[in-house]
Amino acid sequence: MESQVYRVQGMTCGGCAKHVEKALRSVAGVTGVAMDVSKGTATVEGTAAFEDMAACVAAAGYEIVRPA
């Protein structure tokens, strides 16, 4: 199972993290999500396409950034 860490822009609290997590879990191919508000990151497991995840997160009002 693949795992990738993404920076989440606009996430400032636990409520934000819950919105982003819910958006990511709705994407086909995502099998797990772990949020870290203090680091501003989301660790996503699965085989979902970045573009699909980015679109769902954007619809929730946030932005994820590809890792360097």
What CATH number has the domain bearing residue 37?
Answer: 3.30.70.100
Q: Is residue 8 part of a domain?
A: yes
User: Measured at the alpha carbon of residue 14, what is the angle toward residues 66 and 46, in degrees to the nearest 5?
Assistant: 40
Q: Is residue 48 part of a domain?
A: yes
User: Measured at the alpha carbon of residue 68, what is the angle toward residues 2 and 12, in degrees to the nearest 5?
Assistant: 85
pTM of the model: 0.92
Q: Is residue 68 part of a domain?
A: no
Instruction: State both tokens at 9.
Output: 């822009």
Query: What pLDDT sits at residue 48?
Result: 95
Query: What are 8-63's pLDDT values in tens digits?
Result: 999 999 999 999 999 999 999 999 999 999 999 999 999 999 999 999 999 999 99
Check whether 68 has a pLDDT greater than 60: no
- In the chain, the number of structural domains is 1
Query: What pLDDT sits at residue 21?
Result: 97
DSSP-assigned letter for residue 20: H
Q: Which domain holds residue 27?
A: 3-62
Stretch (H or E) spanning 25? helix 14-25
